[in-house]
Structure 1
Amino acid sequence: MPRFAPSLSDQMKASMDMIISDLHPHTIVEEPGFLRFFKSISQMFQRPPTSNVILSELQDLILKTTQIVQKSLERVDNVALSSEVWITTTNKTYMTTTCHLIDNTWTRKSYVLETKPLPEEYKPSHFVGQLLKLADTWRLGSKIKVVVTNVDGMKKDIRKAGWDLIPCFANTLDVVFKETLKASSDWKELVQRCCEISEHFSLVEAQRQLKKAQLKLRLPQHNLVESKGDKWLSTLNMLVRISEQHRAVREVLLEFNYDLLLSETELKNIMKTTSCLMAFKYAISPAEGYHSLSNIIPQVEDIRKKLLELQLGGNEFAKELAQHFNHRFSKAKENDWLTLSTTLDLRYRDITLSEKGASARIKNKIIAEMKHLAEESHGRSFRQPDNFHKDLRRYLEKEMLQRNWDPLAFWNFPKDEDWYLSEVARKYLAVVSTAVPADIAFDTEKARLVASRRSNLDPEHLNMMLFLNGNRFLLS
């Protein structure tokens, strides 16, 4: 059968998709390795495009994507922002801001808007100033109601801008873990010791000795996992691997580095720490993309319950961790964004309403939101407010959804009498729980890969590449 070479447009599309999806610099098409690969399949393809051609195509895509995002933003009245501050491997600080909304088909949409540099010693005013510029550039104006970020100490300045602030849930769990270690020298020393062990076995000779011991003991051929001990999930992965390989680790250390040997007590404490951090992991449901803010209170309740069970079982680390966890989340059910989003999520509605003294406050707040919406929409909506209390009562009488169901599907119906309540739900359910997608925030390998790739991008084109990468679903 004859073979047909892909057209130039197909070839270009494939190259662009690789560059955008995997966050490669556009100059990769002129690097020796890429050219050797291209030459090896040259019978099927025309000659590779130059970096200038690729850059021109990327710039065209920026214009097209910007127009699509702008039109989508124009169609909604409320948006939420999430802003992640991150540091490159060369210690340069950037903030990447993403916009979140629920469109008229009740589909959650998240658009990366921009990535901007911050001074090394940045202040809250720098952070908020960038957000105000972004709001002006994208003509968001009064549409922004809330900002989710992984940066502490921003609450006062965010509120000056007229917005509410929600701390990133993933970052708050890390803060809880760090506070627990800081308050307890014994547990901190244990984690540091495990970090030293993992670092030792990152050396080539130590890895060779570990493989030898693994074969002898018939253990899985796994390397140890390195961690700095400052984040709960990477620490959990490190401790789990040390527990799995402790016999092989012990055999190697007995011969080559006796000082790093773990005692039986330390091994037991590793298991206690692992059990507690697993409480965090089990409470966070796996998902692609962003989690809704409505997930936080249910997840907090699940973690509290598990930590209490561990305390009753004699786990000392659970007691320490619970103390700091409860302190950080003590006012979760007093926060309107958390309680209203949870109440308007039919999977979790009764969790907040069953709280003593909270039900009346939450209902009154929802009614007030509906009345405010009616006042704002007067003259531009054919829907007329009837009895808001009746509308809310009708919703509260609905049967709860299962946890694995889509809460947005419930609200996607054409009943005019429920329009005001559904619009309130749209506002609160559009807010996300983390500053980055949950599948990155709660997956250390994905987070490491993203951090590595974006750190290697040319600062001149960083904003362009992260914009296209974050919005690549619009390009298919």
Structure 2
Amino acid sequence: MDKFLTSSQKDHDPSPTSSNEPSCSKSEPEPKRKKCISAVWAHFDKLPNKQLAKCHYCGKEYKTSGNTSNLLEHLKRAHPLAQQVNNENTSSQLERYLTRTDVYGPTSSKKEAIDKAIAAMVATDLQPFSVVEDIGFRNLMRVVDPRYVMPCRKTLRDTHIKNMNESMTEKLKGILDSVDSCAITTDAWTSRANVSYLTVTCHFILNFELKTAVLSTKPLMDETNHSSLNIANTLREICDEWKVFDKLHTIVTDNAASMIKACELLKKKHLPCFAHTLNLVVQDALNLENVQNVLKITKRIVSYFKSSAIAYAKFKNAQGTENPCSLLQEVPTRWNSALQMIQRVLRTREPLTGTLLRCHNAPIPLSEDQFRILKDLCSLLEPFEKATKHASAAKGVTISLIAPAIFALSQSLEELHEQMLTPVGRETCEFLQSNVKKRLFSYENRSAPRLGTLLDPRFKKEGFQNPSNAQQAMLMLEGEVHNVIQGVRSKNSTEELPRNDEETPFLFKCMAGKIKEKNKSSRADSIITIRQYMEQRNAPHDSDPLQYWQINKEHLFALGQCAIKFLCIPASSAESERTFSKTGAIVTERRACLKPKQVNTLVFINKNQWLL
């Protein structure tokens, strides 16, 4: 107790130096205050050059210049989890996470694998680069693997996406080098950012399997005009970049005059998109006055239900089913949307009419005669929808379907003419018949659809409507097979080693001269080969023509080479349009400032997933 009091008195008693009298003893200097170290240095390393610091997470180097403001800004911008580095009240758990040293290193195979997976996800799922900065995604990755540190947006774009694009590009170039022939489709499109893009897709057969690759989605060389010369120069530049111009024999585009002229400038065969031509045939029929009168009334009824939630609810209740049907509105740019609208109205005829009669200010329901017209239109348009779907298929051979589709449409319209219920239906049917002859019959005169139909074992000569077109196609095929046989023989003759006459058996020496003088007729061999193929029974309708040629690649070698050349041609330019749909999902309002180079990279990775 005395000890405690003594120490307390010492603590509370004024020191002698605190009095007014000057102290005779010199006061000791205070210890130098230790400089506070910024918490930022838990995330950066000082380099030998003291003016630079290196980030633990992304490896970027920054100048310090005696302060850490720019380092802190980098953490806040690129590594949001480190935003609280200067907060004294930071929880110990988060502080341990921020200052941990057991994270994957930049060269870790695990980190590289996750980085590649995130880059592939961004390109495949059309995610923005900023997804790596989203709090929810970062939290998810932290739970999945706490040792993994997310790359910043710039690293993802300029390193991982770029490396993936370069790897896929080199792989595709190697594949195209081994291909002897190919075809391309192309189309133009304007993005939300008002940038006009030209897409080029390449189609070829590799190991008797049809392949499709997007080569480029980039602006025209001269963005100030869309002339045929500008389009031709851009196409030539893209083809030269991929080294496919000399292997290219057909370009498929829409019916635009500039596209047709561009193919003429490039001196390449042009095939108008069959699906686009079908669309023109049907659109002309839908614009007939009597047809428009009924369609306008139908569209008005559908618009009424689309604009009234109460009427729409009554319409669904009137159907009395667990999964009631919804009405579909026509889209001017898609003719088949008119067919879908008609089909849905006919399917819900009774609940639709009953609901209109019970609703206030509703349009007048369709009459019986108008319903009969809709039935006729539905019957006439359904064959065209089937033909469009077949010609626009993404997988499988389509060039061989053009001639049979025209044959089937023409025959269907003849049969439907007798089944029409109304004068409007008969008038529309007659118009479609004449329009099919005007716009579609010319396809049988084109070499690509002709040869494609002959080389499809499902159709052969039976796929043609006009027998004379089939005979002309046979002559063209004979010439193609002759060229293949002649090329193979000339190649073999140069590679054949000279024989030693001493090794020739005695009985064959006298014939050696005659055998050498005997002329080999490639023309006769081509005729025999084609006859063998044509006399075989046609393949089943659900079989794959490329599998047939793979099985018979040795027995019918020359014809198989012709099939590889012509069956790769697509019947439509739908693949280019599908690419633009993806591009529209990439260049959105949120990402309207993407540069064309980044757009091209993302579309290339997204559409060429088979290369991964």
Fold match (TM-score > 0.5): yes
Return the alpha-carbon distance in structure 2 between the equivalents of residues 92 and 260 of structure 1. 45
- 1:344: which partner in 2? 455
* Kept after mapping to 2: 8 A contact 1:80/1:99: yes
Provide structure 1 residue ranges, at least 5 long, that are not aligned to the other structure. 442-446
Q: Which amino acid aligns with 2:444?
A: K
1:64 Cα shift? 0.8
* Kept after mapping to 2: 8 A contact 1:81/1:146: yes
- 2:604: which partner in 1? 467
Select 2:181's aligned residue among 67, 75, 78. 78
> Rg: which structure is higher?
2
The SS at the match of 1:258 is: coil
Question: Where does 1:153-232 land on structure 2 (aligned, <5 Å)?
Answer: 153=257, 154-182=259-287, 184-203=288-307, 206-219=308-321, 220-232=323-335
Return the alpha-carbon distance in structure 1 between the equivalents of residues 230 and 525 of structure 2. 45
**What is the number of residues matched between the two proteins?**
458
The SS at the match of 2:306 is: coil
Return the alpha-carbon distance in structure 2 between the equivalents of residues 166 and 302 of structure 1. 21
Is structure 2 residue 400 aligned with structure 1 residue 294?
A: yes
Provide structure 2 residue ranges, at least 5 long, that are not aligned to the other structure. 1-103, 496-519
Cα 1:76–1:114 shift into 2, 3 Å = same
Cα 1:216–1:181 shift into 2, 3 Å = closer
* Kept after mapping to 2: 8 A contact 1:279/1:303: yes
Select 1:50's aligned residue among 152, 164, 167. 152
Is structure 2 residue 219 aligned with structure 1 residue 117?
A: yes
Select 1:427's aligned residue among 549, 561, 565. 565
Q: Which amino acid aligns with 2:152?
A: T
Is structure 2 residue 111 aligned with structure 1 residue 17?
A: no
- Per-residue displacement from partner, 1:414-462 (whole Å, max 9, x unpaired)? 7656332221121111111121249x87xxxxx9964741442534321
* Kept after mapping to 2: 8 A contact 1:81/1:144: yes
Is structure 2 residue 333 aligned with structure 1 residue 333?
A: no
Return the alpha-carbon distance in structure 2 between the equivalents of residues 393 and 448 of structure 1. 44
Determine what percentage of the aligned residue pairs are the same residue: 21
- 2:338: which partner in 1? 235
- Per-residue displacement from partner, 1:145-175 (whole Å, max 9, x unpaired)? 1011134223343123111111112222211
Runs of 4 or more above 6 Å deviation = none
1:28 Cα shift? 3.2
Return the alpha-carbon distance in structure 2 between the equivalents of residues 387 and 435 of structure 1. 36
Cα 1:207–1:247 shift into 2, 3 Å = farther
What TM-score, normalized by structure 2, do the two folds share? 0.68
Cα 1:415–1:151 shift into 2, 3 Å = closer
1:139 Cα shift? 1.4
Return the alpha-carbon distance in structure 2 between the equivalents of residues 312 and 26 of structure 1. 60
Cα 1:191–1:291 shift into 2, 3 Å = farther
- 2:362: which partner in 1? 258
* Kept after mapping to 1: 8 A contact 2:132/2:138: no
Return the alpha-carbon distance in structure 2 between the equivalents of residues 133 and 207 of structure 1. 54
* Kept after mapping to 2: 8 A contact 1:178/1:231: no
The SS at the match of 2:532 is: helix
Return the alpha-carbon distance in structure 2 between the equivalents of residues 199 and 381 of structure 1. 70
Cα 1:346–1:171 shift into 2, 3 Å = same
Return the alpha-carbon distance in structure 2 between the equivalents of residues 192 and 451 of structure 1. 33
1:474 Cα shift? 0.9
Cα 1:200–1:92 shift into 2, 3 Å = farther
- Per-residue displacement from partner, 1:100-154 (whole Å, max 9, x unpaired)? 1112x21111111001235586233332222111111111232111011134223
What TM-score, normalized by structure 1, do the two folds share? 0.86
Return the alpha-carbon distance in structure 2 between the equivalents of residues 323 and 90 of structure 1. 42
Return the alpha-carbon distance in structure 2 between the equivalents of residues 276 and 333 of structure 1. 23
1:402 Cα shift? 0.7
